[in-house]
Amino acid sequence: MKTAKEIESIYNLYVDELFTYGLYLGFEREIVMDAIQDVFCKLSADTSMLDNVSNMKFYLFKSLKNRLFDIYRSRKEHVPLENVDAGREMPFQINVNVEDLLIEEEEQQQIKREIEEMLGSLTDRQREIIYLRYVQEYDYPQIAQLLNISVHACRKLVSKAIASLREKFGTLVFLFLIS
């Protein structure tokens, strides 16, 4: 059983990343906040296994994603059946923030363009897995749980994203020059 104090410190540590993840999945602010509230209520009610959770952040990400997926599915209720499966492909948009860089606005915009162009060339699914793997730095078994696919499929998805970016943006000749 988590004490109020523990809940509070967990909240303070992770609420920002949870909120960001929820927004990236395409939900409105209020919906994400509701879902986070549910996640924390569940966390406090869950008396059994919680002390053994080694990776609290992962646990929270997973419950948030589950909760949001339920919401997503309930919204799709009236959509014809063949589209429901495609509904597994939730949107995923990463917000590129350059405002905290202490440089001219023009330079900031240039950086934003470069990053957005690269992220924009990926599919939603690829963007999400790249985010989970290289920004959040989850391992493949964890990502597999978050995306509800096999570890093998995760690896394939990541290498496909990498290959696609290499194809589009890799400048091999130039890089050989550096080395």
Partner 1 sequence: MPNYKRYTDFLKDKQFIRWQLAPDEELEAQWKDFIKENPHLHIEIQRAIDYLKTTGLNKSTLNEDERIRLFNEIQFNIKQSLNKTKTRRIIRLSVASCAAIALLMIGLNLFLSQKNDIHSSPEQEVIVGSLLNNEDIQLITEEESLSFQNDVQMEFDERGKAKITQIDREEKTVELTKSKQNTLIVPYGKRSTLILADGSKVWLNSGSVLEFPAQFTGNKREVRLASGEMYIEVAPDKKKPFYVHTSDFNVKVYGTKFNVSAYADSQKSVVLVEGRVSLQTANKKETFLAPSEQAVFSDNSTFHTQKVDVNQFISWKNGYLEFNQTPITEVLKQVGRYYNLSFDFDNDVNLQKRTCSGKIYLSENLDNVMATVGLLSSTIYTRKENQIFITHKPL
Site residues, partner 1 (CB under 8 A): 4-5, 7-9, 11-12, 15-17, 19-20, 23, 29-30, 33-34, 36-37, 40-41, 44-45, 94-98, 100-103, 107, 110-111, 114-115, 117-119, 130-131, 134-136, 161-163, 165-166, 169-172, 174-175, 177-179
Q: How far is the CB of 69 from partner 1 (least distance, A)?
A: 19
CB of 145 to partner 1, least distance (A): 20
Query: Minimal distance in Å, beta carbon 25 to partner 1?
Result: 14
CB burial of residue 104 (10 Å; 0-12, 13-18, 19+): exposed
Q: Between 36 and 81, name the residue whose CB sits nearer to partner 1.
A: 36
Our CB check for partner 1 shows the closer of 4 and 86 to be 4
Nearer to partner 1, 43 or 84 (CB): 43
- For partner 1, the closer CB: 84 or 97: 97
In the numeric block, which tokens belong to residue 79?
Answer: 């959509």
> Three-class SS of residue 89?
coil
Own/partner long-range contacts of 57-62 (Cβ < 8 Å, ≥24 apart)? 57/13, 57/14, 57/17, 58/138, 58/142, 60/10, 60/14, 60/18, 61/17, 61/18, 61/21, 61/136, 61/138, 61/146, 62/145, 62/146
Cβ neighbors of 169 (< 8 A, separation 6 or more) are 118, 121
List, in order, residues 6 or more apart from 58 with CB less than 8 Å away: 138, 142
Considering beta carbons, is residue 12 or 83 the nearer one to partner 1?
A: 12
**Please, which residue, 82 or 174, has the CB nearer to partner 1?**
174
